[in-house]
Chain A
Amino acid sequence: MGKTNSIENNIRRLRFDHNEMTQQQLADAVGVTRQTIMAIEKSRYSPTLELAFKIAHTFNVPLNEVFTYSPDID
C-alpha cells in the first residue's frame, strides 16, 4: 500500500488539458525523471517548492491550481 500525503494535485488533469502531455514530456520540461512525476501524481512524493513552481510555470497556471493542501487526510 502506497503512502500518500496531505498535498493533492491536479497534474494529471492539467496534462490532459495541455494536448495530452505525457509524463515524460512534463518530466523533461521541469528537469526530473518520469518516475518522479509519476510519484507526485500519485501523491507519493511532495516536490520541493522550486519543482512545484516549475510545474505550475509549465502549465502556465498559479501554484494553487496545481497543488492543494488538505490537512484532514493525515
Chain B
Amino acid sequence: MSFQEKRTLMSMLSGVAVFMGYGYYLFQAYPEKVWADPTDFAFWGKSLLIMIPVSIVGRIIIHIVFTILHAISTGKYDDQDYKTDERDKLIELKASRVSQIVFMIGFLVSMAALAMGYSPFVMFIVLVIGGLAAEILEGISKMMYYRRGF
C-alpha cells in the first residue's frame, strides 16, 4: 500500500474516530439536552459549530502523528512520496465531488424528514449522518481511484 493510500485510509478513519468521540462526549456530557429536549436548536447549533474546529484540530494532530510514525517505521525522512502531484490533486477533486453529492443527498433527506413532520432532532441526526457518510465515501472513492486508476 502506497503512502497516499495509507494517508487516505488514516484520514478517513481519523475523521470517523473524531466524529464518534465527539458524539460520545456530547451524549455523555449533555444527555438531558440530547434526549429530553430535541427542539433546543441553540444546543444543536452550538454542538455542530464546535464540532468543526474540534474535527479540524483532531485530524491535524492525528495526521502529524501518523506521518511521524510512518517516517520512523519506514526510515524514510525525506521521502518524495510525501509530496502531492497532479494525480493526487485530480483524485482529491474527483473524491470531493462524490463527497458533495452524498452530503447533498443527506441534506435533501433531512429536509424531507422535516417536511414529513419528523422532529428537528431527526433532521439534525440525518444531517450529521449525511456528513459522516460523505466523509467515508470520499475516502473510499479516493482509495478506489488510487487502486483502479481513472
On chain A, the residues within 8 Å of B80 by CB distance are 24, 27-28, 33-34
Binary interface encoding of chain A residues 40-53 relative to chain B, with 1 for a CB under 8 A from any of its CBs, else 0? 00111101100100
The answer for the CA separation of A34 and B82 in the assembled complex, in Å, is 11
Across the interface, name the chain B residue whose C-beta is closest to A4.
B149
**Chain A contact residue count (CB 8 A cutoff):** 22
| B148 engages A3 (CB within 8 Å) | yes
**Quick check: is A62 within 8 A (CB to CB) of the other chain?**
no
Q: List chain B residues, Cβ under 8 A from A45.
A: 87, 149-150
Q: Could you tell me the distance between the alpha carbons of A44 and B83 in the complex, rounded to whole angstroms?
A: 20
Confirm or deny: B32 has a beta carbon within 8 angstroms of a beta carbon on chain A: no
* A-B residue pairs in contact (CB < 8 Å), sample of 27: A1-B148, A2-B147, A2-B149, A3-B148, A4-B149, A24-B80, A27-B80, A28-B80, A32-B85, A32-B86, A32-B87, A33-B4, A33-B80, A33-B81, A33-B84, A33-B85, A33-B88, A35-B4, A35-B81, A35-B87, A36-B85, A39-B87, A42-B149, A43-B149, A44-B148, A44-B150, A45-B150
Using CB atoms and an 8 Å cutoff, list the residues of chain A in contact with chain B.
Answer: 1-5, 24, 27-28, 31-36, 39, 42-45, 47-48, 51
